[in-house]
Amino acid sequence: MITREEQHEAKEYAAAELEAAGVALTDAERAAIEVADFGLSRLREQGLMLLVYVNTDRYCAKELVLYPGQACPEHRHPPFDGGPGKEETFRCRRGLVTLLVDGRELVLRPGEQFTIPPDTLHSFRAGPDGAVVTEFSSASRDELDVFTDPAVRRATVVA
């Protein structure tokens, strides 16, 4: 659970970081930035901010924005609709992000990218200056994600 103030602050932070990364946004997009705390109620440590550009039944593109040191908890994208599950490419735009993929640690700096195979356990954490990461992928169905921590809830509740 997050407060309305935490949500507002996180959206403002994400919009400012995207602008600093050279990303032009429409007003509608700025308003549509999603704040996710994964039900853990420690947004600054566990969570992220998302902006979905497009998500068709074939491909998806998003921006992910993280506070300094903020992490997205370990999860995988299982098979669905007869396909192998979501495959995704993380491209760092700003700051630094450390990926943990199937036990292997990788650091991405601006201009560096990595593709995570479907149904593969992964988590990621921003460096000390936060991170802006573009995600290119096959179709995205966030609600199907399988998290390792059973306390995780993908839908954020705003108090």
Binding positions for a second copy, rule: CB under 8 A: 21-26, 29, 53-54, 56, 58-61, 87, 89, 91-94, 110-113, 115, 134, 136-138
Alpha-carbon torsion (31, 18, 118, 155), positive or negative: negative
Residues 148 and 72: beta-carbon distance below 8 Å: no
Q: Based on CB atoms, which residue is closest to a second copy, 20 or 146?
A: 20
> DSSP alpha helices (H): ranges in 74-128?
none
Q: Based on CB atoms, which residue is closest to a second copy, 3 or 80?
A: 80
The pair of structure tokens assigned to 137 is 């992928």
Minimum distance from CB of 23 to a second copy (Å)? 7
Q: Based on CB atoms, which residue is closest to a second copy, 21 or 43?
A: 21
Minimum distance from CB of 15 to a second copy (Å)? 12
Residues 157 and 39: beta-carbon distance below 8 Å: yes
> DSSP alpha helices (H): ranges in 22-141?
27-32
Minimum distance from CB of 68 to a second copy (Å)? 19
